[in-house]
Chains A and B, each alone.
Chain A
Amino acid sequence: MTKSMTISRIAGKAVCYLVVVIIFVVAVFPFFHLLSSALRPYSELFARPPLLLPKTFTLEWFQKVLNYSKFFQYFRNSIITALGSTLLSVAIGCMAAYSITRGGYRGKNLFSKAILVAYMFPPIILIIPLFQIVNGIGLANTHFGLILTYITFSFPFSAWMLVSYFKTIPKDIEEAAKVDGASNLRVFTQIILPLAMPAVVTAATFTFINSWNEFLYAFVLANSDVTKTLPVALYSVKGGEMMEWGPVLAWSAMLVVPSLIFFLCFSKHIVSGLTAGAVKG
């Protein structure tokens, strides 16, 4: 009896390890293949049958991408747009989160629901009107115009992430400070914000990565080199009859790196933020 139970326990564990290893291969192999393809020379890139591992390593595709005359302009556009929308969204998000968690006024529930609805809104529905608005106020092909459209998805996102964290900050310290005569603004800037810093940093990081990865809005709204972001520029490189696979793969690999680093560092905080505070722990 006990013996068979130990055997079945060991077998169960072995099955678990097997499953983990299989999923590991499935999850990691495409990423590995991206790197190994981007690092091989032309002849090996188009070898038939395809090679699992490159025989010679080369950085020529990465060099080629970096030598595109406009690569750094696109890079700059991506950085400006992502930073701008992050700063604005997190600032607005912090204020909204304070308001939702600390305020006691009528319409608060409606307000927090409206943010959640905005969070779930189909982006495709907003494209035409945002295009009209941005053109209408003379912000077509400016960084700020694109930043404004990014706020539509990044502000509800950061607000919700911050709400779930602000809720966990104990109110005793604030109340003690208020008894000592501190104003609400002081409590917000000198007690709540410093305590919420981990969440603020996480929200900022995610907002930045979301904007950095964004394709649809930039594709429709950023047509000129002045505003084109890296993903859209990569899309236009792909154009033409023959896909230039070498540079395309190297460029893709470069795009993955920032989000890879950030997501792996912040994996713990992802869940609570994205599921709008509905998942505890």
Chain B
Amino acid sequence: MKNGQGNKIGKRGLLKYLDDHLAQLFIVPALICLALLVAYPALLTLYNSMTNLSMLTMSANKFVGLKNYTTVLQGSEFWVSLLNSLVYTFFSILGQFVFGFISALALQRITKGRTFFRTAFLIPWTFPSIALTFLWTWMLDPSFGILNFILMKIGIISDPIPWFSMKSTALASVIAMNIWFGFPFIMLSFCAGLQTIPVEYYEVGKIEGVNFFQELRYIVFPGLKRIIGVLLILRTIWVFNNYDFIFLTTGGGPNISSQTVPIYAYFTAWKRMAMGRGSAITILLLVFVSLFIALYFKLFKINDQEADE
């Protein structure tokens, strides 16, 4: 009897204790996910990158030290891929920002149909990568594609161009597709950012008689600085990590002319069966991405959760 009562109190005490520490308790599932599905796999990759792990001999792998890294870094394929990655990322982001910014600015200044147009502009961004890439492959088809036809009609080109399978146009075509796909998100963010700029600033500008470019320089850009910074870093990471778009359109080709680092890693690990070397490539990719993650943390103090309020 007494014992049972004690147990009950103990139980209630335990529940009370758990409830008092609910916040700590609630990180447990997330911690398990982070540990088992992100941290552990990342460490496993680091380990794999120092073995001769292969698709064919999944378990029988030998420790080879830094050999994979030296092989990768000494070959030219890595550097070509890295250069392609940089070109792909830089021009995709540049295009997305230019179009996103122009759209947001134009939308802000029109009065009729603003919501309609803003919603319509979002359409490219709703495309799953598989539908996006197939649609563009279809539009750019040299025999039946509508784009070659339109470009020939306006007189920009005289013969159909196999955009995705020509060395000189492959990467540029994927970039064009990526700009089309990604500009709506930038636009949406800029629309939100433009709303935070007080109307009085524009009014003062008008009284001072500033022209359009002065307005951009002294009112709009300073107001969007933070958003531009956040977007620039996040988008860079996403586009740099992106794999689907190139894999599904050019496949990195012709030859390796449009192959980026993620594609190189994939082919090395899964097509050439050299998973150890493939892992080393992904670690090198992570090193590069880490620079941007670090920059993000340095510029935006996200750890001050309360500071915003």
Task: Spell out A's residues near B (CB within 8 Å).
Answer: 12-13, 16-17, 19-20, 23-24, 26-28, 30-31, 33-34, 37, 45-50, 52, 91-93, 95-96, 98-105, 109, 111-118, 120-130, 132-133, 135, 148-149, 151-152, 155, 159, 163, 167, 183-185, 188, 212-213, 215-216, 220, 231, 234-235, 238, 243, 245, 248-249, 252-253, 255-256, 259-260, 262-264, 267, 270-272, 274-281
Contact = CB atoms under 8 A, between A and B. Distances in A.
Nearest to A105: B24
A95 B106 contact: no
A228 B135 CA distance: 21
Instruction: Name the 7 nearest CB pairs between A and B, nearest first.
Output: A103-B23, A213-B128, A129-B41, A252-B131, A129-B44, A95-B26, A96-B30
Contact of A260 (B33, B126, B282): B126
Interface in B93-123: 99, 102-103, 105-107, 109-110, 117-123
Contacts of B127: 31, 256, 259
A278 B126 contact: no
Contacts of B226: 278-279
B58 A132 contact: yes
B102 A278 contact: no
B106 A130 contact: no
Interface string B201-230: 000000000001000000000000011001
Interface of B: 19-20, 22-24, 26-27, 29-31, 33-34, 36-38, 40-42, 44-45, 48, 53, 58, 99, 102-103, 105-107, 109-110, 117-131, 134-139, 143-146, 149, 180, 184-185, 188-189, 192-193, 195-196, 212, 226-227, 230-231, 234, 237, 240-241, 243-244, 248, 262, 265-266, 269-270, 275, 278-279, 282-283, 285-286, 289, 292-293, 296-297, 300, 302-303, 305, 308-309
Given A50-B149, A132-B58, A123 B243 contact: yes
B131 A155 contact: no
A27 B118 CA distance: 11
B130 A255 contact: yes
A260 B234 CA distance: 23
A161 B235 CA distance: 17
A125 B31 contact: no
Contacts of B270: 220
Nearest to A125: B282
A223 to B, nearest CB: 12
B134 A20 contact: no
SS class, residues of chain A in contact with chain B: helix
A253 B196 CA distance: 37
Contact of B30 (A46, A50, A155, A184): A155
Given A28-B120, A133-B41, A185-B22, A259 B126 contact: yes
